[in-house]
Structure 1
Amino acid sequence: WWYVLIVGVGALLHPALSFNTSRCQNVSSTEGTVHPAAAQGAGPYRDSVLLPRTEFPMKLTGQNLIDREVQIQQECGFAELYSWQRERKAKKEYCLHDGPPYANGDPHVGHALNKILKDIQNRFEMLRGKQVHYVPGWDCHGLPIELKALGELGTSGLSPLQIRQKAREFAEGAIARQRAAFQRWGVMADWDKCYYTFDGTYEAAQLKVFQDMHSKGLIYQDYKPVFWSPSSRTALAEAELEYNPQHVSKAIYATFALATLPPKMAEAVGELGSISVLVWTTQPWTIPANQAVCFMPNAQYSVVKRRDSSQLLLVATERVSSLATLLSTELESVGTFTGTELEGGVCQHPTIPKKEVPLLPANFVTMGKGTGLVHTAPAHGMEDYSVASHFKLSVECIVDEEGRFTELAGPELQSLSVMGEGNDTVISMLKAVGSLVKEEECVHSYPYDWRSKEPVVIRPSKQWFIDIASLKDKAKEVLAKVRVIPESARGSLLAHLDRRPYWCISRQRSWGVPIPVFYHKETGEPLINKHTVSHVTQLFSEKGSDCWWELPLESLLPPEVLKKVSHPGEVTDYERGDDVLDIWFDSGTSWAAVLGGEALADVYVEGKDQIGGWFQSSLLTSVAVQKRAPYKALMIHDFVISEKGEKMSKSLGNIVDPDTVIHGGEDPSVSPAYGVDVLRWWVAESNVFSEVQIGPNVLNSARDSINKLRNTLKFLLGNLQGFDPRTQAVDPKEMHYIDQYLLHLLRNYSMKMTDAYNDFGAGRAIRLLQAFITRDLSKFYFSIIKDRLYCDPEDSLGRRSCQTVLEEILDGVTRSIAPILPHLAEEVYLHAPGHNEGETLFRSGWIKSSPVWRRPGLEEAVEGACAIRDSFLSSIPGRNAAEYELTIEIEPGLLFELIESLQDEPTSSSSQLTELMMSSQTTLTSALPRDLPADALISNGSFLINLEGGVIREDSAYQVAAVPTSMARCPRCRRYTSSSPDCPCPRCQTILTRAQ
């Protein structure tokens, strides 16, 4: 009471006051419904009603839709937008560095998902006033392009330069098709200034990174096991593997007889007889390359006797029970030892007479499968190689580049495929000498070449490597400062780092950036240093990397460069290397070639396959050279799948072509033309952090959502016909309270939209849009204001107040959806009032909202009235509110003062309160009259007002009495405010009189 008496209603509506309220419920209405005044047919008053008028089409379909989108791109300067914003003054720059798509095929929906996601963010940042740095690029080298370019020709008889020429032509064709698609999708960029990894300037920047890393000792040449693809005849990096979880191997259990017992075992078992070590492997072909059998030092091992054969086997104690079941016999323990007590034991190799191999400790031995003793072939296993390095074991390769046994494997195996006949032959050899204990099929995950889809092998070869171990700790340190979206992906990024002790960066192909190394013809020693690399880098910058094969050796390694090298010899003593760099090193150095200098990208946005690919290679090369990550944030999306949840493939016939989505297929009834904005809506609406589905149902839903949005926009445009906000806008302080309230809601909407886009939340932005349109506009505001829009005088304060708000809503909604639907946004802007011809939305900024729109006191007044209206409407379900007169009783207090601000006189048929109630007439009182009619409908409720953080709280009760109106329906406005059915109501009479 004291508060009301002192400050009054005026102070309650002051923006500084804060109210905590519940949102008002909504009435069931949409902007598509027709106001009664609009349904008069050819009645005598039709021409006096201000019905919506606009040339903006409700719906565009087929070729009309396609033509309109292309027309908008041309009229609104889509092609020039990126250059325009780069030239304008801006306080901040926003850099989204484009991960290069691979130039080996046509554009697909995966491209659409990625490129449109990036474009949505770039357009938002540009609208917010930032200068966007976005240079599209393509990854142009690599085996897939080389193989597709050569087709059935193969490499037989073709020189490296001929191969490179065909590969370049193929890549350029793919780039042209992809670039045209990206432009059609409305992706904002300067498409004449893209980057390509086969450009000489790009290659030169890449070699500078290579030289920097080499000078720091991070790049070195070594002979060690690498993943090798027999089908592609080249080394592969971890990122170039696909793991097939359904690969079937012939797994075996085999014995290695103990030629020399470990001292502790010899003491314990005495004269029991011959003991054999039992091993398990899924790669029997590697047995001929065995150099040791490894055990876990801190595990326990047992010598067991088979009940069915009395054979003595050494196995891990933990595995005895499982092995007994597997072998279908009892295993009796005759001695138990710790792993360390096995040291000193020596085994007889089962297939190579007179060859003995030691028992050695290794921490990588596990007890989950097998026997707890691991057959170790250092030439054909990464962990096996680490044992060989520590114990100085031989690392001898017995497999050639085609995946066949060499002569070192022996005459019985030579030339046999290790993954086929060679594997079977080794099993037969083990069986012949009595070493094969059991053979079984094993389904497990196995690495495949990501291009040829064929299994790989591990074999040693002389390659160039990056020492990941030296970079790993620093990479983890800087990665901790990078924002990862979603955060759940951080663990995968770290796991990929942990799995990589080194990175093989050399490839035995022609289509790529040559490793700038020369080899001494006699010694084979490599010649590579800052002088030789700098010279080659300069040549690449000027001529491109083809010059590695085009120029004579004297130009690549001139005498003046050779003189700078210790003990140089003559140029003729050397020959150029044949290897090229891994394409992940190509793309991983894009930060140096595209961003340059100290530039740092705000974000990288790519699919989850880049967790082990471009994200990693970019991080490692940048940490090596700059000691920091090249990005502030990573946004990682998932893959696109069919509507049935299947991976897309030609064999299943479920591939969705983005070009068909946009332009339609041969049968429009099956594949209609959806247009670009439907494709963009699909991207924005999808939960991109899980598998993204696409198909007819999803696309139809997107189209329907856009058409509903068009319906709202058409309503707004239609009611703004003839209104110019520059000269006819009403000051917010003079507006009707309901209009001021909508500005308050619009401001909240704009702030939430900004937050959503800032968090890469395009899907959240769509949900905010739909909620705002459905709840705040269609079901609430539009249903209330139609009478004022259609039937008030054209220049009246009430109508202009409403139009001012509608123009702000139109502008705010259009700008808020512009990053997602740029074609629709610009189309609306062409029809919208308030700007000069030739202006475009994207050159005019983000949503404009004013702090003065924040009116907490006003919010309380309107939402209190809404609560009262909800009680009234619930008492007349299914009936027309306009047919009732209301009496609203509110006990004296704060709520009464607020509601009284909406109605100056006790009873009114034209007050703002009556407009909100949508009734014929409203009476506001502090006590219901005693003589209410018998047919009065009584409803009641309460509304909580919470002021200044709870310092003042008031829960006010109210009652609403609704009685059928005694007034007649006005033939013009169709409200029950007339004294006679044939006579217009007083308001309409005044308007008609003025019109005469």
Structure 2
Amino acid sequence: MLLCRVSAVSRTFASWGRGSLRGGGLLHRALSFSSSRCHDVGSGEGSAQPAETGSARALYRDTVLLPRTEFPMKLTGQKLLDRELEIQQKCGFADLYSWQRERKAKKEFCLHDGPPYANGDPHVGHALNKILKDIRNRFEMLRGRQVHYIPGWDCHGLPIELKALGELATSGLDPLQIRHKARAFAEQAIARQKAAFQRWGVMADWDQCYYTYDGAYEAAQLKVFQEMHNKGLIYQDYKPVFWSPSSRTALAEAELEYNPEHVSRAIYATFPLITLPPKITSEAGSLENVSVLVWTTQPWTIPANQAVCYMPNAQYSVVRRADNSQLLLVATERTASMAALLGTELESVGSQLEGGICKHPTITDKEVPLLPANHVTMAKGTGLVHTAPAHGMDDYSVASHFKLSVECMVDADGKFTDLAGPELQNLSVMTKGTDKVISMLQECGALVKEEQCIHSYPYDWRTKQPVVIRPSKQWFVNTASLKDKAKEVLQKVRILPESARGSLLAMLDRRTYWCISRQRSWGVPIPVFYHRETGEALINKYSVSHIGKLFKENGSDCWWELPIETLLPAESKAGPATDYVRGEDVLDIWFDSGASWAAVLEDSRADVYVEGKDQIGGWFQSSLLTSVAVRNKAPYKSLVVHGFAISEKGEKMSKSLGNVVDPDAVISGGKDPSMPAYGADVLRWWVAESNVFSEVQIGPTVLNAARDNISKLRNTLKFLLGNLQGFDPRVHAVDPKEMHYIDQYMLHLLREYSIKVCLCLRQYEYHKTLNYIKILTGSKLYCDPKDSLGRRSCQTVLEEILDGVTRSIAPILPHLAEEVHLHAPGHDEEGTLFKSGWIKSSSVWRRPGLEEAVEGACAIRDSFLSSIPGKNPAQFDLTVAIEPGLLFELMESLQEEPTSTSSQLAELMMVARVNLTSELPRDLPPDAQLSHGTFLINLEGGVIREDSAYSIAVVPTAAARCPRCRRYTAKSADCLCPRCQTVVSQAQ
């Protein structure tokens, strides 16, 4: 049965390329950048040979088909920059997006652009993100899909407002004046960023972008707001929010940066018990002067204390300090650590806490209860938590449950109000206010210990200053009611990398409500009116719908420009319009950008959102919540979460560290000599070669490596172009069935390559794509007749490889790809690569059995080369001995004759002659090098498996080097080999 299978395989090979076994099928199995080399006729190589006469050299030179192409080997400096801009112009980069939108396509690919912030110059983070997106878009377009990609900008918010105003005092400017300055600043930033994105080769219709300050966009946003309000998901309430004194506005979680090195003045303070918990009294008997010991990193909140919370079902003890007999109530679990902290022994004398009441340490006659709370932990402190409902989210929950007062003693500037008392009024809570509270605790004997605490603390992401938690009347989204549905739809979303899913789910868990109102001027006004006398809010579907129409027609400036009678429609009023005033708050910019699906995607879903990991708590989440609230589904089918750009030393980029890399300097050159003009394709290669799912390093070393890799690739492409001079695939291409086996094998590799490249591009593993490109590119020259089957077979494969490699690099290196396409044969000069489709591989090219034949030959070649280290293989004859069987039949398919100087097997072995036999001859010369090996054949998915042995004998060839082709196949040094004799005689 096995012999039948072996014979069948052999017959199959013979049918693929019968009649084309002789001549030079000369493509290497895996071509490398550095292996390609042209040899000038007449150059000396190897052993000394008699010099040819001048007439002979000329004749030989004229008959050797050397590579010729006008494609430049190297472009640097201004020539490189000029060439890239020329390519963009000549190949219609600016019109490509519109062209593909107008063509017919069966499928659409939608990548929804997360809007970059319009507050500064383009940076490498922009480059990483935009190029990452563009590579995927160009790939999908080449694959025949109609790409939907509308770039956008996030245009509102405090950073723009502050930069626009500069040093100007805001007190003298009305909202409209502030808005006009902010809009002008945003427009300038957008113009700079847009120009950079175009220079990077990002494909889009740059005249049709979306901007969050456009009236139509604002109207779509208000429609989302209206539908969420109608469902009861948006409400107004007085509750604690993150408040930035430096910005004088409320912040959402996504607008915070956590500083892990923040230093707080942490204190241990006592709250005297005026009513002991009944169970402690019953267990420990009569106790006097017991105090609850609390720990806090925010001493300034002590004046707002309303309770002390304990962990339900935990054990608590009254302990006596050995050094001063003071009785303290602490968690039993924390007793040992408290003893170590205070430097004294603690003796336990009691337990349960329910029913206890404390005296406030600094406010006379104020009583605060001991209350159970689930947020209390034993990780730090004393197991007892000072509770100020106005200044903590968990504290507020306790206050809501037990109906405690939520009294705010802190104003918008972060200073104590008169409610805190004359000693604290007007003091900044984070500085002098903290000092004063600690001093007051010390004076009344309540301060037990003070220490420095280094911990993670929230900062305003814009001003880089600490925030506080304080209650104010704000507008909120009830995310708690959306959470379960958001998690459910998220399970159907594909996320790369998968590890990011946990972070997104964790963010959803932590967010119970979302504060969406901001106390600024530059933003979309919240469409609410307030009664002049009662302060009651007026907002309903009629008023919001009417405002939305006005915004669409006039832009949101009309909120301040139009009279209130025009803004407030008759059907929504409860009395005269003049009884109301318009609200002054604007919407959180995360609500702005989170509603982009409604303005850009309308009823559809994007195939993918691609943004940095900071958007896990930002745009990814705000888009998800708003879409789930309105449409009950996610706005995206998949998410791609990439890392940040960092310096080569692994540091975050910072102007103070001097490690910021300017993408414009990367392209056009910088002032520093270490930053030459690399061009846009080097910037794109940097993105593609990086593992974008981690942090992405950039600097001179990385950029130089990218430039060198492109240079090697360019040289290889030049070599391929040169060997295709005079070749037109429409006329000269050889049918795959008539090709030499090695050339068929290269087509097989090309098909496998195209499949792998497609997979990598879909997975955003662009660095793997470049690795496959490096493996495939390179070649070797022919000396065959111009129209010989061997030469045309090889040229056909060369053209397919050139075309395949060019198309596979096109999404990554569009400038280089289009430049190659302009020089490549077989298409109209006016055509551009991106309008001509993806790699045109064929299923006919797949030859798994042939792969075994060539791989087996290469294994034998490796054994041969290892036996002659450092020597020229062309100067040897090789005898390959294989016992009859599958491997012998495979090698016989590459060389029908027992001995040959021109078979495909001889070309693969790179030797003068190959003798193929079933056993080594007994009369081998004494200097013969012998070696042995095995090769495992695996065909038909493992159905046919054979571990075949082979032996090889290597001897120096007796043949002379042919003066024309430089192969050792001539009878003597002064005559040509048989192949070259034929070519030269035909040329005469």
TM-score range, shorter chain: over 0.9
Query: Residue 946 of structure 2 corresponds to which residue in structure 1?
Result: 954
Question: Which amino acid is the alignment partner of residue 147 of structure 1?
Answer: L
* SS in structure 1 at match of 2:170: coil
The Cα of 1:955 is off from its aligned counterpart by 2.6
The Cα of 1:551 is off from its aligned counterpart by 0.2
Question: Which amino acid is the alignment partner of residue 447 of structure 2?
Answer: L
Q: Is the 8 A contact 1:15 1:857 kept in 2?
A: no
Query: Residue 602 of structure 1 corresponds to which residue in structure 2?
Result: 607
The Cα of 1:553 is off from its aligned counterpart by 0.4
Instruction: Report the number of matched residues.
Output: 967
| 1:965-984 map, 5 Å | 965-984=957-976
- Counterparts in 2 of 1:417 and 1:951: CA distance versus 1, 3 Å: closer
Question: Which amino acid is the alignment partner of residue 815 of structure 1?
Answer: R
| Match of residue 316, structure 2, among 301, 306, 310 | 301
Give per-residue Cα distances to partners, 1:673-712, cap 9 Å, x unaligned: 0000000000111111111111000000000010011111
The answer to whether the aligner puts 1:913 opposite 2:905 as a matched pair is yes
Question: Which amino acid is the alignment partner of residue 419 of structure 1?
Answer: M
* SS in structure 2 at match of 1:39: coil
Question: Which amino acid is the alignment partner of residue 483 of structure 2?
Answer: K
Query: Residue 399 of structure 1 corresponds to which residue in structure 2?
Result: 410
The Cα of 1:947 is off from its aligned counterpart by 3.5
The answer to whether the aligner puts 1:850 opposite 2:861 as a matched pair is no
* SS in structure 1 at match of 2:850: helix
| 1:408-423 map, 5 Å | 408-423=419-434
The Cα of 1:944 is off from its aligned counterpart by 2.5
The Cα of 1:666 is off from its aligned counterpart by 3.1
| Match of residue 761, structure 2, among 757, 762, 768 | 757
Quick one: distance in 1 between partners of 2:321 and 2:8? 98
| Match of residue 54, structure 1, among 29, 48, 69 | 69
Query: Residue 167 of structure 1 corresponds to which residue in structure 2?
Result: 182
Q: Is the 8 A contact 2:6 2:886 kept in 1?
A: no
| Match of residue 690, structure 2, among 660, 666, 686 | 686
Query: Residue 571 of structure 1 corresponds to which residue in structure 2?
Result: 577
| Match of residue 231, structure 1, among 246, 253, 258 | 246
The Cα of 1:156 is off from its aligned counterpart by 1.5
The Cα of 1:4 is off from its aligned counterpart by 5.9
Identity, in percent, stands at 76
| Match of residue 164, structure 2, among 125, 128, 149 | 149
Question: Which amino acid is the alignment partner of residue 442 of structure 1?
Answer: C
* SS in structure 1 at match of 2:807: helix
Quick one: distance in 2 between partners of 1:15 and 1:128? 30
Quick one: distance in 2 between partners of 1:355 and 1:950? 84
| 631-640 or 758-767, larger mean C-alpha shift | 758-767
Query: Residue 824 of structure 1 corresponds to which residue in structure 2?
Result: 816
- Counterparts in 2 of 1:908 and 1:207: CA distance versus 1, 3 Å: same
| 1:334-733 map, 5 Å | 334-335=349-350, 337=351, 341-558=352-569, 560-562=570-572, 568-596=574-602, 598-667=603-672, 669-733=673-737
Q: State the TM-score, normalized to the length of structure 1.
A: 0.95
Query: Residue 190 of structure 1 corresponds to which residue in structure 2?
Result: 205
Quick one: distance in 2 between partners of 1:113 and 1:32? 33
* SS in structure 1 at match of 2:716: helix
Query: Residue 834 of structure 1 corresponds to which residue in structure 2?
Result: 826
Q: State the TM-score, normalized to the length of structure 2.
A: 0.96
| 750-759 or 961-970, larger mean C-alpha shift | 961-970
- Counterparts in 2 of 1:826 and 1:613: CA distance versus 1, 3 Å: same
- Counterparts in 2 of 1:129 and 1:25: CA distance versus 1, 3 Å: closer
Q: Is the 8 A contact 2:233 2:478 kept in 1?
A: yes
Quick one: distance in 1 between partners of 2:14 and 2:985? 37
Quick one: distance in 2 between partners of 1:240 and 1:127? 39
The Cα of 1:608 is off from its aligned counterpart by 0.6
- Counterparts in 2 of 1:691 and 1:982: CA distance versus 1, 3 Å: same
Query: Residue 20 of structure 1 corresponds to which residue in structure 2?
Result: none
The Cα of 1:38 is off from its aligned counterpart by 7.0
Quick one: distance in 1 between partners of 2:580 and 2:359? 45
- Counterparts in 2 of 1:307 and 1:7: CA distance versus 1, 3 Å: closer
Quick one: distance in 2 between partners of 1:582 and 1:485? 28
The Cα of 1:803 is off from its aligned counterpart by 0.3
Quick one: distance in 1 between partners of 2:190 and 2:447? 55
The Cα of 1:923 is off from its aligned counterpart by 1.8
Q: Is the 8 A contact 1:25 1:870 kept in 2?
A: no
The Cα of 1:154 is off from its aligned counterpart by 2.7
Quick one: distance in 1 between partners of 2:260 and 2:938? 60
| Match of residue 221, structure 1, among 209, 225, 236 | 236
Quick one: distance in 1 between partners of 2:966 and 2:562? 90
The answer to whether the aligner puts 1:870 opposite 2:888 as a matched pair is no
| 141-150 or 966-975, larger mean C-alpha shift | 966-975
Structure 1: unaligned runs, 5 residues or longer: 17-23
Give per-residue Cα distances to partners, 1:599-654, cap 9 Å, x unaligned: 00000000011000000000000000000100011100111111111111111111
The answer to whether the aligner puts 1:891 opposite 2:897 as a matched pair is no
* SS in structure 2 at match of 1:156: helix
The answer to whether the aligner puts 1:203 opposite 2:218 as a matched pair is yes
- Counterparts in 2 of 1:343 and 1:390: CA distance versus 1, 3 Å: same
Quick one: distance in 1 between partners of 2:9 and 2:236? 85
Q: Is the 8 A contact 2:493 2:636 kept in 1?
A: yes
Quick one: distance in 1 between partners of 2:242 and 2:159? 17
- Counterparts in 2 of 1:272 and 1:904: CA distance versus 1, 3 Å: closer
Give per-residue Cα distances to partners, 1:709-752, cap 9 Å, x unaligned: 11111110010011100000111111111111111111111111
Question: Which amino acid is the alignment partner of residue 867 of structure 1?
Answer: A
* SS in structure 2 at match of 1:487: coil
- Counterparts in 2 of 1:5 and 1:879: CA distance versus 1, 3 Å: closer
The Cα of 1:36 is off from its aligned counterpart by 6.8
The answer to whether the aligner puts 1:3 opposite 2:7 as a matched pair is no
- Counterparts in 2 of 1:618 and 1:738: CA distance versus 1, 3 Å: same
- Counterparts in 2 of 1:187 and 1:27: CA distance versus 1, 3 Å: closer
* SS in structure 2 at match of 1:342: coil
Question: Which amino acid is the alignment partner of residue 957 of structure 1?
Answer: A
Q: Is the 8 A contact 2:479 2:512 kept in 1?
A: yes
- Counterparts in 2 of 1:943 and 1:346: CA distance versus 1, 3 Å: same
Q: Is the 8 A contact 2:245 2:413 kept in 1?
A: yes
Q: Is the 8 A contact 2:852 2:938 kept in 1?
A: no
Q: Is the 8 A contact 1:14 1:857 kept in 2?
A: no
* SS in structure 2 at match of 1:268: helix
| 269-278 or 154-163, larger mean C-alpha shift | 269-278
Q: Is the 8 A contact 1:15 1:854 kept in 2?
A: no
Q: Is the 8 A contact 1:744 1:853 kept in 2?
A: yes
* SS in structure 2 at match of 1:428: helix
Quick one: distance in 2 between partners of 1:634 and 1:233? 34
Query: Residue 19 of structure 1 corresponds to which residue in structure 2?
Result: none
The Cα of 1:12 is off from its aligned counterpart by 4.8
Quick one: distance in 1 between partners of 2:277 and 2:32? 87
Query: Residue 89 of structure 1 corresponds to which residue in structure 2?
Result: 104
Quick one: distance in 2 between partners of 1:394 and 1:7? 90
Structure 2: unaligned runs, 5 residues or longer: 18-27, 45-51
The Cα of 1:873 is off from its aligned counterpart by 1.6
Quick one: distance in 1 between partners of 2:297 and 2:392? 12
Quick one: distance in 1 between partners of 2:546 and 2:81? 52
Quick one: distance in 2 between partners of 1:540 and 1:438? 58
- Counterparts in 2 of 1:38 and 1:390: CA distance versus 1, 3 Å: farther
The answer to whether the aligner puts 1:260 opposite 2:275 as a matched pair is yes
The Cα of 1:334 is off from its aligned counterpart by 1.3
Quick one: distance in 2 between partners of 1:404 and 1:928? 97
Quick one: distance in 1 between partners of 2:692 and 2:9? 52
